[in-house]
Each structure stands twice: as C-alpha cells, then as structure tokens.
Structure 1
Amino acid sequence: MSQYRLNLFIPPDHARRLDELAVKKGVSKSSIVAAALASWLSPDAGDQREAAIARRLDRLTRQYERLERDQAILIETVALYVRYYLTVTTPVPEAHQDAVRAQGKARFTQFVEQLGRHLLRGHSLLRDLVEEIQPDTVRREADAAASVRQADGEAT
C-alpha cells in the first residue's frame, strides 16, 4: 500500500503532546495523525459528534429543569414557613429573652445535627417531597437519566 508523504507544521505544544501519546501508546506519530485525520474526514464523524453533544445538552436541560423546579419549591417552602412563623410567633417578654435564646440555640444545634445525618445518608427531603406529590415525574426522570447513561456508555 503506497503512502503519501506530508510535511506539517504544528504548534510546539501539539508536537510535544503527539510525542508523549506515541510513546505512551507504543505507536508511530504517523499512525496517530492518520487515525485522527480519518476520524475527522469520516462522513459520519460530524453526525456522531452532533449526536453526542445533543445527548449531553438534553441531559443538561433536564438537570436544569430539575434545579429550577427544586429551587421554586424551596423558595415557596421558605416563604410559607416565614409567613407562618411571623404570624403565629408571639413576642417574648424581656425577662424571658435569655431562656428563649438558649432554647433557640439548642434547637438550632439539633437541627444542624439532624440535617448532617440526613445528608450523610444521601437522601433529599425535597426529592422525597416531590416523589410523594408527583411519583410519576420522579420515575420518568430516573428512567431518562438511566437511558442517557446507557447511551453515553455505548457512544464511548
């Protein structure tokens, strides 16, 4: 099989990386450049890259939509809690301020410890709440994420 000789000028950084890759893989620099060129010139290479990018964009879109939904739920939850708290909390007389502060500090410490345990278990209270309200949505998201992971595994 005849070969065509080609002299190329590439940046020093590319040349260094090409040298390192050739040594690491135990192949010639020419074979690496030929494989890269074949991949670049392949008629379906662009389609493959475009499909991979589209899958990643779809996954990012779903993640963004979940974040947006979770943030909206969180904002509403905090707003409702603050409204409720401000509505039902009675002012504390000056004589009881120190006791109330101590009780608040103890409750906050307990809250932080409970939150830490919850996070260490890997559970999401927000996810649990959404699952209770919309179990089909959570199931569809999990199925979509699994199919994307499978497609990404096949593409590589």
Structure 2
Amino acid sequence: MGRRKENKVRYQLFLPEELSGRFEALAAKPGASKSAILVDALTAWLARQAVSELEARFSVRLDRMSLALGRIERDGHILLESLALFIRYQLMIQAPLAESDAAARAVGRDRFNAFVARVAETMATGSRTFGAARPRPDDRA
C-alpha cells in the first residue's frame, strides 16, 4: 500500500546566502525537512498577517469604545459622589421626626414612594432627567 499523496504545488525561490546557510543548517537536523520548515514558517507568517489585519480593523472601534466606557465610568463616579454629598447634607440639616408625628411620617412615606415610582418610571422608559429632549408636563422647576 502506497502513501496517499497530498495535492502540492512546487515553487522555486531564491534566498540570500546568509539565510540559505541558516536554512540548510536547520533542515540538516534529524526529522526536519525543507518543505516542512517552509510550510510552518509561511503558515505562521500568514497567521500573523491575519491577526494584524484584524487588529487594524477593530482597533479604532475598540479605542472608541474604551473612551466611551471611560466617560461612563467618570459620569457614574460623579453621580455617586453627588448623591452621597446630597444625602449627607440632607441628613445634617433635617431634624428627625418625632415618633408621635404620624402625619409628618405619612407625608414622608408618600414622598419617598413617589420618588421611587418616578425613578422606576424613568428607568423603564429610558428617559433621562438631565439632558432630556423635552420636559414632562408634570415636572416642576
């Protein structure tokens, strides 16, 4: 039974003398052949070319996305810091309610529930308080 021969194409190429000497020395090692060395080298070179082509194609987009994520992160930090300072300020200036003041507690609970409902509505619709295209009719300055 003979070995099945793969479809191969013959090439003739010219190498500089220095590179030719190194190539011959590498091919002289046991288990190495000139064809196998050239196939491996060409395969590796083409793979690097494909990677650099993909990198060039996607690097601009990835850079743009990195900048956008950086802005989102910065905005998130600003929002969190603003909220923390506002809450701290409110807790410092607001007097605590008396346990017996049920009416004030009910008003506070209603205001909190309205606040939570408004946040939920804003998140559900995707609208934004800052930079909104048009103010809602029930918004008061």
TM-score (norm 2): 0.50
Equivalent residue letter for 1:108: F
Aligned pairs (5 A) from 1:31-50: 41=46, 44-50=49-55
Runs of 4+ deviating beyond 6 Å: none
Q: Does 1:112 align with 2:122?
A: no
* 2-structure distance, mates of 1:67, 1:50: 24
Q: How many residues align?
A: 92
Whichever of the two has the greater Rg, that structure is 2
The structure carrying a bigger helix percent of its residues is 1
* 1-structure distance, mates of 2:53, 2:116: 48
Correspondence for 1:150: none
Correspondence for 1:90: 95
Partner of residue 101 from structure 1, selected from 102, 105, 127: 105
* 1-structure distance, mates of 2:107, 2:114: 11
Unaligned runs of 5+ in 2: 1-5, 9-42, 133-141
Q: Which has the higher contact order (CA 8 A, sep 6+)?
A: 1
Q: Can you list the C-alpha shifts for 1:55-99, whole angstroms capped at 9, x where unaligned?
A: 343133123212221122112211221132023201222321x33
* 1-structure distance, mates of 2:96, 2:67: 45
* 1-structure distance, mates of 2:65, 2:82: 25
* 1-structure distance, mates of 2:121, 2:108: 20
* 1-structure distance, mates of 2:112, 2:57: 47
Q: Secondary structure at the match of 1:94?
A: coil
* 2-structure distance, mates of 1:113, 1:107: 10
C-alpha spacing 1:125/1:62, structure 2 compared with 1 (3 Å):
farther
Equivalent residue letter for 1:88: I
* 2-structure distance, mates of 1:43, 1:86: 60
Q: What is the percentage of aligned positions where both structures have the same residue? A: 35
Equivalent residue letter for 2:78: I
Aligned pairs (5 A) from 1:7-156: 41=46, 44-96=49-101, 98-125=102-129, 128=131
* 2-structure distance, mates of 1:125, 1:61: 25
* 2-structure distance, mates of 1:55, 1:73: 27
Correspondence for 1:15: none
